[in-house]
Chains A and B, each alone.
Chain A
Amino acid sequence: MELLLLKISGTEDTPEITFNPENNEFVISGRSLPEDVTSFYAPVFDWLNEFAENPANEAIFKFKLEYFNTASSKIILDILMKLEELVQSDNADITVEWHYSEADDDMLEAGDEYKELVELPFNLISY
């Protein structure tokens, strides 16, 4: 079954999300402080559940965020744990890339903390 393309365009307070298995593009970028985190991210989890049934090869999930609030941090963890589950139970080939601005220590340290929390190939990449 062909996986659907997930595309959410970003706003001032919500990130842009592009999950496109066809050209192997999985990116979350921008700022994440939605009013209602759970409902905003619901499509992402729906997509992930579908993706779980037939994960793409060598998928690289890129987080290129500028800022996320506390509530979003929990959701990001949930996404990472979902990916972790795929790696551990289905041997899916998934890598996480955490992009941070060289000047943004906060983002780097947050990435470090996440790296500790999940068991996934997790790369910190500065730009």
Chain B
Amino acid sequence: MSEEILQALMQLFAIIARQDGVLINNHEKYVYNFLASQLNSNRVDDYLKIYTDFLNQSKPEVPGAEAKDKARTSMKDSVRTLSICKKINKTLAQKQKTIVLIRLLEFFKNDSNHSANRIAIVETAADVFKIEKAEFLDIKEFVFEDKDATSENEIIVGQTPDLQPACKHYISFNNYTGKCKFIHLRSINIVILKYHGSTELYLNGAVIKPETIYLFPHGSTLRFPQTSIYYSNIISFFVGEKSGDAFSFHAHIVEHKFPNGTKALNELKIEEHSGNLVGIMGASGSGKTTLLTLLSGQDKPSNGEIKINSTDLNSGNKELHGVIGYVPQDDLLIEDLTVYQNLYYNAKLCFNDLDENQTNEKIGKTLSSLGLEEIKHIKVGNALNKKISGGQRKRLNIALELLREPHIIFLDEPTSGLSSRDSENVMDLLKELTIKGKLIFVVIHQPSSDIFKMFDKMLILDKGGYAAFYGNPIESVTHFKKITHQINNDVAECNTCGSVNPETIFNLIELKEIDEYGNYTSKRKVEPKQFYEAYKQKFFNALPIENIKKTIKTSLNTPGKLKQTMFFFLRDLYSKISNKQYVLINLLEVPALVLFLSLIIKYIDTTKSSEYTFFHNYNIPAYFFMSIIAALLVGLTISAEEIYKDQKILKREKFLHLSRFSYLSSKVILLFSISLIQSALFVLIGNLVLGIQANYFSFFLMLFSVFCFSNILGLILSSTFNSPVTIYIIIPLIIIPQLILGGALFSYSKLSSLFGGGYKVPAIANAMVSRWAYEGLAVDMYINNPYNKDKYIFNKLESRFNYKLVYFIPKIEQLIKDRKIGPLYDYDENTKIIKTELAKDHTEAVELGFDKALPDFSDAASTLEYLQELNGFYSEKYNQASALKEKYLSQELKSKDAKEIEQNKLTYFNNHLDEIVTGSLEKEKIVIYNHSLVQVVDPIYKDPDGSNKILGCNTHFLSATKYFFHSMIPTYYFNLMIIWLINGLLFILLYFDGLKKLFRMVK
């Protein structure tokens, strides 16, 4: 209660007190007691002074007023009441206003004359507070108790003979003489209580005074001698209709084994129905959690069946979707979202048909029923960096499950790590839910006596997965006392305080034998098997519960795939945005990297020019390659933990049967968006620094594709491996081969022959995205720029004939000379090469108009003569090609001046890239490889060999075009396509979690 309200209340008290011109002693006493319960003693006097000062303000005298008017409420008091109440209206919620009103009524009660003026003021206050008339009357009656008849919102707790026949609800205790009344105020959903009697009762641990109104909030306990009343006991009278139909739960586990073959659980039966709170207790390692995972359908029992009504839980039947909720021991919260957001996205994913208002209403209800309203806008934080308390986290976890209203809820140690107050709160909430018709299973550890007694049923497991008890919790104590032959074995509770110590159960179970020296041995007095026998006799064939045939209706209505994707995406997005560190690092990482890289390699060749030119920068090809590697690494690291860190949430959402495709799509969309920004930043900054002025877009697109590749790859890793360490160990295994086989660091021709090294791209390198990206970039950068674009075709023609004249014909001549004199025998290696190469060349030459026939290769002389002819033909062709190029160049000179052309060259053309794509640094320009001649020089001008015209993946490295369904397409597009093909395949692998399945098979 704030000071402001307290002051307002003092004024209201004073106004009421000074009516009728008579002061009543009890009033001041009430104010004093009330203040004493709200404030510490030194402040009480301050407020009491406010009260008395106000009280003593004399009533204005109206001269000549009639005597009866003097007994009337002054108008100033009336209007003052209004203004105080209006002020209260502005600051207090309805609930608190009702409490203020209760205090006013209590205060008024001290006036035994029941002055009409006083009650008029209280009534006016109620009117201004907008409290329903009927409720006001209920409260008034409750406070005054002038009538014996009680409203149907009331409960009386007392001795049976005391109870009035008119009372609708009562709880009877025969061993105490007092009477306790509760009333439920429906509109604001609070319960208040009042006690008459002399026995000491404790409300949440504090003694209560008789004849005083107390609030009985959520989770409260009122302790009577030997027994307690819980909020849930009281509210159960008022909850009225149970939600949903009754249902039964039946589990018969014949046996359950762990994957390694050891026995986890022995035969046991559970028969339950809606409305029960069932506890599962047992020593550690007795299989509690295992049982819970079986009952909740996360795992199948090796032998046995679990049925809800008559539907098998493990049949994958759709009608059971959403029936089960599971709250594991650890938190399943999205740390970077607020409490409200956590619930919001959960609601959105569960209920398609709720609009925004309905969703908010639903969340609001859940929040208030769990007492989380005040913290709804606080970020959840993680276990180490706690923003909300442990109890609140637990309640939020429960809230997430409650929100979608499952019929059966399983909770694994919901109270572990909570204070006893919080534990009782949580358990009371669960109890309340069972009253509403849910069935709840709770694995519980060391419950307090109060919690222990809340359970309707208790299943106790013993070491080795043996059941030891199944039934009423209090009976369990006597059961074990009897088996272990204890004295007083029919007494379960403490005679004086009525508490049960659940510890005794385990002390009895684990009772050790004593040796002759009086020391405890390690041998147990009663083995688990003996308890199990007793269990089987007594509980196994317990009354079967009627089997309900009806199907269960669930309110779960998950949205379509597209909507799911949207909500997953938004949830992820907000979670990421709210983590400022993440956003900052993500935005700055790439610019920092690219600045560092580009500034370092901005090389000025001082021997050629004093200024920086793109043309002379030797590092440009390496820069392209490094960009690709950087994209790979950055892309991997941003995605490598994505699914891993969600795995807990995914575990919970398994019960919702949401679409994995939607989930993955949302991840992919989000990561691709980040990658889009990163690749754009990379290209912008890098190109600016290094003066790369052409092909912004194609550079960006290629980098983006590589980013996407590594995003998906990272997702695969994060969904496959179960710890971040493993994930980060795997990353070098992925990156280093990309480095080695990318085609830039090591030339393919100089790789070990084991990996298909030679003058072809090794098959293994074709699996490397770095190779496709690098090749595509290098070729595109070389050809598609303003300087080289038009020249390329002339150079290509020239290169073709130049190769024939300078390398091909001399090589054949060399081969002929290298042989022994004599006919060209077929067995001779060189002869074979000469024959096939000349035949290939001949078809090519004939197409160009060559009319000589192939020699018969009977001797060297005729072949040499043929070569002479061929040389002549190609010389002529070469000259024609040169002439064409000359013509083009002179035309270009006419349209632009020489300086401009030179400038273009320096801006758009990179010398080292030219050296690489024309193979000019290779010593051998033509080599014999695999029984044929291979052109090493000018790969950029060489046509693909056409051995695979459908998908030219095996085309030589740095070819300008590749075959795709019988047509030639530019290498850049071809490679881009290959990368996206790989991306697509990886996504399919990700969707089916292929790698994880593979690992499981290997295991």
A residues sitting closer than 8 Å to B (CB atoms) are: 33, 67-74, 77, 103-107, 109-110, 113-114, 116-117
Given A74-B124, A103-B62, does the pair A67, B69 have CB atoms closer than 8 Å? Answer: yes
B79 contacts A by Cβ under 8 Å: yes
C-beta contact mask, B60-89 vs A, less than 8 Å → 1, else 0? Answer: 101110000100111111111111001000
Q: Is there an interface contact between B75 and A71, defined as CB atoms closer than 8 Å? A: no
Of B115-123, B561-569, B881-889, which binds chain A? B115-123
Q: Is there an interface contact between A69 and B78, defined as CB atoms closer than 8 Å? A: yes
Alpha-carbon gap, A77 to B75, bound state (A) = 12
Taking CB atoms, residues of chain B closer than 8 Å to A71 are: 120, 123-124
Task: Count residues of B near A (Cβ-Cβ below 8 Å).
Answer: 26
Additional 14 contacts, C-beta under 8 A, given A70-B77, A70-B121, A77-B82: A67-B69, A70-B117, A70-B124, A71-B124, A73-B78, A74-B128, A104-B62, A105-B60, A106-B76, A109-B60, A109-B79, A110-B78, A117-B79, A117-B83
Q: Is there an interface contact between A74 and B74, defined as CB atoms closer than 8 Å? A: no
Alpha-carbon gap, A107 to B65, bound state (A) = 13
16 pairs, CB–CB < 8 Å, chain A vs chain B: A68-B75, A70-B77, A70-B78, A70-B123, A71-B120, A73-B81, A74-B124, A103-B63, A103-B64, A104-B60, A105-B60, A105-B62, A109-B60, A110-B76, A110-B78, A116-B83
Of A104, A107, A113, most B-chain CB atoms within 10 Å: A113
Query: Which residues in window 885-913 of B have CB below 8 A to A?
Result: none
Closest-by-CB residue of A relative to B123 is A71
Our pick among A67, A103, A105, A114 for the contact of B79 (Cβ within 8 Å) is: A114
Q: Is there an interface contact between B83 and A68, defined as CB atoms closer than 8 Å? A: no
Taking CB atoms, residues of chain A closer than 8 Å to B77 are: 70
Alpha-carbon gap, A85 to B69, bound state (A) = 33
Q: Is there an interface contact between A110 and B79, defined as CB atoms closer than 8 Å? A: yes
Taking CB atoms, residues of chain A closer than 8 Å to B123 are: 70-71
B127 contacts A by Cβ under 8 Å: yes
Taking CB atoms, residues of chain B closer than 8 Å to A69 are: 72-73, 78, 120
Q: Is there an interface contact between A117 and B82, defined as CB atoms closer than 8 Å? A: yes
Taking CB atoms, residues of chain A closer than 8 Å to B64 are: 103
Taking CB atoms, residues of chain B closer than 8 Å to A33 are: 72
Query: Which residues in window 112-169 of B have CB below 8 A to A?
Result: 117, 120-121, 123-124, 127-128
Alpha-carbon gap, A68 to B75, bound state (A) = 6
Shortest C-beta distance, A54 to chain B (Å), equals 29
Our pick among B60, B69, B73, B82 for the contact of A74 (Cβ within 8 Å) is: B82
Our pick among B63, B75, B117 for the contact of A110 (Cβ within 8 Å) is: B75
Given A70-B124, A113-B82, does the pair A106, B63 have CB atoms closer than 8 Å? Answer: no
Q: Is there an interface contact between B127 and A74, defined as CB atoms closer than 8 Å? A: yes
Closest-by-CB residue of A relative to B82 is A77
Closest-by-CB residue of A relative to B119 is A70
Alpha-carbon gap, A10 to B7, bound state (A) = 39
Given A67-B72, A103-B62, does the pair A73, B83 have CB atoms closer than 8 Å? Answer: no
Shortest C-beta distance, B19 to chain A (Å), equals 9
Taking CB atoms, residues of chain B closer than 8 Å to A113 are: 76, 79-80, 82-83
Query: Which residues in window 702-722 of B have CB below 8 A to A?
Result: none
Taking CB atoms, residues of chain B closer than 8 Å to A114 are: 79
Taking CB atoms, residues of chain A closer than 8 Å to B79 are: 73, 77, 109-110, 113-114, 117
Shortest C-beta distance, A19 to chain B (Å), equals 22
Closest-by-CB residue of B relative to A65 is B75
Q: Is there an interface contact between B82 and A73, defined as CB atoms closer than 8 Å? A: yes
Q: Is there an interface contact between A109 and B76, defined as CB atoms closer than 8 Å? A: yes
Taking CB atoms, residues of chain A closer than 8 Å to B62 are: 103-106
Taking CB atoms, residues of chain B closer than 8 Å to A105 are: 60, 62
Taking CB atoms, residues of chain A closer than 8 Å to B73 are: 69-70
Taking CB atoms, residues of chain A closer than 8 Å to B80 are: 113
Q: Is there an interface contact between A73 and B124, defined as CB atoms closer than 8 Å? A: yes
Shortest C-beta distance, B213 to chain A (Å), equals 24
Alpha-carbon gap, A109 to B76, bound state (A) = 6
Alpha-carbon gap, A74 to B128, bound state (A) = 8
Alpha-carbon gap, A74 to B76, bound state (A) = 12
Alpha-carbon gap, A109 to B58, bound state (A) = 13
Alpha-carbon gap, A92 to B60, bound state (A) = 36
Taking CB atoms, residues of chain A closer than 8 Å to B117 are: 70
Of B63, B75, B77, B121, most A-chain CB atoms within 10 Å: B75
Shortest C-beta distance, B115 to chain A (Å), equals 12
Taking CB atoms, residues of chain B closer than 8 Å to A109 are: 60, 75-76, 79
Of B81, B86, B120, most A-chain CB atoms within 10 Å: B120
Alpha-carbon gap, A74 to B86, bound state (A) = 11
Taking CB atoms, residues of chain B closer than 8 Å to A116 are: 83
Q: Is there an interface contact between A106 and B75, defined as CB atoms closer than 8 Å? A: yes
Shortest C-beta distance, A40 to chain B (Å), equals 15
Alpha-carbon gap, A114 to B60, bound state (A) = 17
Of A67, A70, A74, A109, most B-chain CB atoms within 10 Å: A70
Alpha-carbon gap, A114 to B124, bound state (A) = 15
Shortest C-beta distance, B87 to chain A (Å), equals 10
Shortest C-beta distance, A122 to chain B (Å), equals 13
Alpha-carbon gap, A70 to B12, bound state (A) = 13
Our pick among B60, B86, B124 for the contact of A117 (Cβ within 8 Å) is: B86
Alpha-carbon gap, A110 to B82, bound state (A) = 11
Query: Which residues in window 196-245 of B have CB below 8 A to A?
Result: none
Of B63, B81, B82, B121, most A-chain CB atoms within 10 Å: B82
Shortest C-beta distance, B707 to chain A (Å), equals 57
Taking CB atoms, residues of chain A closer than 8 Å to B120 are: 69-71
Of B59, B83, B117, most A-chain CB atoms within 10 Å: B83
Q: Is there an interface contact between B60 and A70, defined as CB atoms closer than 8 Å? A: no
Closest-by-CB residue of B relative to A114 is B79
Of B74, B121, B123, most A-chain CB atoms within 10 Å: B74
Shortest C-beta distance, A102 to chain B (Å), equals 11
Alpha-carbon gap, A67 to B124, bound state (A) = 17
Alpha-carbon gap, A27 to B997, bound state (A) = 88
